[in-house]
């Protein structure tokens, strides 16, 4: 159900990670009273909790290990087959929690800025692992607002070979969900909340303000 709106169903392809701890921490994150250091810590904690859900279907492979008692075949995650992609710069705020979960995952970055007039994304940086085709790719950006940056980032990743992609944010606007799902219906969206709407400046309402500025204390 979008926050601050009547009852609606969650759109297809969208998972709202509605764990009480996620919602509690998101409430703190939204609050104007939350200072930069706490904001940063909370964003990381929420992403870790969300990562648990997002990575639920990670493939496991058998490994031979020796317990103190006897040898056994156990299963472990193929961390090297996973890639986290941060959409700069706010994506970095929710990257740490994911890396905490899978320290051996590969990391990529995409720099896009939003044209202040058209709100269209313009790429200024792109660095990802070479073998994207072999990896499960998790794209992270805390705010899914217009959806144009996320859609452009995923288009670019597909051009680089990525085939299995998931998108993770903290707060999504219905407009952004519609744009991203239309552009990339194969990409599931995971969010902690689906908010009411975008305002005339393409900010999410009620939202949490500018995620990058709040993460990095630049305003
Ligand atoms: N980016 C943000 O940081 N906040 C919004 O509300 C929308 C886009």
Residue 106 in any domain: the answer is yes
Helix (H) or strand (E) holding 149: helix 148-159
Q: Are 211 and 143 spatial neighbours (Cβ–Cβ below 8 Å)?
A: yes
Domain that holds residue 31: 14-56+80-207
Residue 70 in any domain: the answer is no
16 in contact with ligand 1, CB cutoff 6 A = no
Alpha carbon of 12 to those of 69, 86, 171, 178: distances in Å? 48, 24, 16, 10
Residue 160 in any domain: the answer is yes
Residue 197 in any domain: the answer is yes
Residue 145 in any domain: the answer is yes
Domain containing 154 — which CATH number? 3.40.50.2020
Helix (H) or strand (E) holding 11: none
Pocket test for ligand 1, best of 88, 143, 170, 200 (most atoms within 8 A of CB): 143
Residue 137 in any domain: the answer is yes
Res 5: pLDDT? 47
Residue 42 in any domain: the answer is yes
Residue 71 in any domain: the answer is no
Which residue ranges in the chain fall short of pLDDT 70? 1-8, 79-80
Report pTM.
Answer: 0.92
Res 2: pLDDT? 62
**How many angstroms is it from 19 CA to the middle of ligand 1?**
23
Q: Domains in the chain: how many in total? A: 1
């Amino acid at each position: 159900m979008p926050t601050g709106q009547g009852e609606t169903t969650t759109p297809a392809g969208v998972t709202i990670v509605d764990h009480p701890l996620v919602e509690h921490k998101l409430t703190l994150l939204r609050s104007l009273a939350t200072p930069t250091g706490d904001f940063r810590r909370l964003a990381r904690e929420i992403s870790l909790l969300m990562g648990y859900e997002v990575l639920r279907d990670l493939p496991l492979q058998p490994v031979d290990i020796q317990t103190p008692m006897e040898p056994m075949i156990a299963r472990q995650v193929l961390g090297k087959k996973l890639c986290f992609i941060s959409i700069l710069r706010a994506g970095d705020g929710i990257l740490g929690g994911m890396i905490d979960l899978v320290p051996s995952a590969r990391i990529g970055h995409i720099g896009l800025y939003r044209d202040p007039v058209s709100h269209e994304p313009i790429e200024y940086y792109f660095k990802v692992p070479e073998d994207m085709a072999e990896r499960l790719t998790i794209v992270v950006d805390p705010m899914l607002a217009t959806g144009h940056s996320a859609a452009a980032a995923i288009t670019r990743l597909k051009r680089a070979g990525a085939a299995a992609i998931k998108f993770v944010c903290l707060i999504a606007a219905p407009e952004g969900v519609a744009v991203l799902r239309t552009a990339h219906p194969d990409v599931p969206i995971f969010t902690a909340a689906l908010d009411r709407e975008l305002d005339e400046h393409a900010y999410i309402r009620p939202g949490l303000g500018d995620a990058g500025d709040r993460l990095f204390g630049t305003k």
